[in-house]
């Protein structure tokens, strides 16, 4: 065995010595990290591979180390999905969140933040504060604000993008199923939960016989239900805004897993968005039902809604498989929370996903292409 290894190394050395063509390939996991980073598509292949390695280690090698003790006692998963679901992503994300809040020494801030900027292609010229030493910790850097003029809000269209990101999917909702990426769906009812929150909204046009769950959400004859999924990569602007003028009547918080929501994983795990922790904001706009859902992800345990001080996400006292409701409609406030188009709504740590579900007339059209990059304030569609 030893002679074989020595022989192979000698052969390798001879090939290198004689200048024979050799190709070394760094093999990534099947869920290639360069797909996760939308910015990498415009880079050269060697640069993309090099810049993908820090996140590759963080997302795959480090979590899978937690499974070694189970393997030693004979535990064997039945599939890759089973492996991934058993990783304690909530615990890891809480630990990551605490690490983000640790203040860095002044001398260490620039090297750390420059590494992040280089890895994810962050454009610091858009940041309200470009001085890296201003950000005391990673959390502040992730939640950096932008200069007002770099994201003008489109006033000629009724719905705008709530965040910077990539369009994963959009279109009409059909048969109570929504596509998270092309060909992979999830249940509309499982995603939003029971219709108990609709008591704060306008009554359905056929309250006596609402039909399917999808039909029950449509309040006006001739309208249909539409959806749009925006994926925020780690290098994107992490705040999200109101996509239209609407009133928020209800919040539903689903504690859940915190699996990665990058497009590769979304193709891999059916109903991924239903497994993950999420915050569903439901209400109404001028055409009827409207909802915005912030979906958590690995290392994104913190979802913050600016006007909701009671919301606590990735909290160990909440169990997966449950949900917590909160109504913004009270005796003193029958309208709920009014939001203007473009107004600050909330923020993530690192990156995640926004899912819009809304009612609109049948002639509503999206001005989008699947996979395109989009920025906050740009039009999603129009009537």
Residues involved in catalysis: 164, 241, 352
Name residue 174's beta-bridge partners. 177
Crossing angle of the two packed helices 106-120 and 45-56, in degrees rounded to 10: 130
Q: What CA–CA distance (Å, rounded) separates 67 from 88?
A: 10
* Cβ–Cβ < 8 Å for 111, 132: no
Around Cβ 214, how many Cβ atoms within 10 Å? 19
Cβ(277)–Cβ(350) below 8 Å: no
Chain centroid offset of residue 217 CA: 24
Q: Is 102 exposed, middle or buried (0-12, 13-18, 19+ CB in 10 A)?
A: exposed
Tokens of 125: 């010229």
CA distance 279 to 198: 16
DSSP string, 219-271: -STTEEEEEEEEEEPTTS--EEE-SSSEEEEEEEEE--B----SHHHHHHSTT
Rounded distance, CA 230 to CA 226, Å?
A: 14
Cα–Cα dist 49/162, whole Å: 30
Question: What's the maximum distance between 2 C-alpha atoms anywhere in the chain?
Answer: 84
Phi, psi for residue 172 in degrees, rounded to 5: -80, 145
Alpha-carbon gap, residue 262 to 25, rounded angstroms = 23
């Amino acid at each position: 065995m030893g002679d074989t290894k020595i022989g192979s190394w000698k052969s390798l050395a001879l090939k290198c010595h004689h200048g024979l063509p050799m190709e070394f390939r760094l093999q990534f996991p099947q869920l290639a990290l360069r797909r996760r980073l939308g910015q990498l598509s415009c880079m050269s292949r060697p640069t993309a591979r090099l810049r993908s390695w820090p996140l590759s280690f963080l997302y795959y090698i480090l979590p899978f180390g937690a499974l070694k003790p189970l393997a030693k006692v004979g535990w064997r998963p039945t599939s890759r999905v089973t492996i991934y679901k058993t990783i304690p992503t909530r615990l890891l994300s809480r630990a990551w969140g605490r690490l983000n809040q640790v203040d860095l020494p002044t001398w260490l801030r620039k090297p750390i933040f420059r590494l992040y900027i280089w890895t994810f292609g962050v454009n610091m010229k858009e940041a309200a504060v470009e001085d890296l030493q201003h950000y005391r910790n990673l959390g502040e850097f992730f939640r950096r604000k932008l200069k007002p003029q770099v994201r003008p809000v489109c006033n000629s269209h009724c719905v705008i993008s709530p965040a910077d990101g990539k369009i994963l999917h959009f279109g009409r909702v059909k048969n109570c199923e929504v596509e998270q990426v092309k060909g992979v769906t999830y249940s509309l009812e499982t995603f939003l939960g029971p219709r108990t929150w609709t008591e704060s909204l306008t009554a359905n046009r056929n309250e006596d016989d609402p039909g399917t769950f999808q039909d029950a959400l449509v309040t006006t004859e001739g309208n249909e239900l539409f959806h749009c999924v925006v994926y925020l990569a780690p290098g994107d602007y992490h705040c999200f805004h109101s996509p239209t003028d609407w009133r928020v009547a209800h919040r539903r918080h689903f504690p859940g897993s915190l699996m990665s929501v990058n497009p590769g994983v979304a193709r891999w795990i059916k109903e991924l968005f239903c497994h993950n922790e999420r915050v569903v904001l439901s209400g109404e706009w001028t055409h009827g039902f409207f909802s915005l859902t912030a979906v958590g992800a690995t290392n994104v345990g913190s979802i913050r809604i600016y006007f909701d001080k009671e919301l606590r996400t990735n909290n160990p006292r909440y169990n997966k498989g449950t949900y917590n409701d909160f109504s913004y409609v009270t005796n003193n406030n029958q309208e709920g929370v009014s939001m203007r188009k473009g107004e600050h709504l909330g923020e993530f740590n690192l990156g995640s996903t926004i899912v819009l579900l809304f009612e609109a007339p049948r002639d509503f059209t999206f001005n989008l292409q699947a996979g395109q990059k989009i920025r906050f304030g740009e039009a999603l569609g129009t009537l």
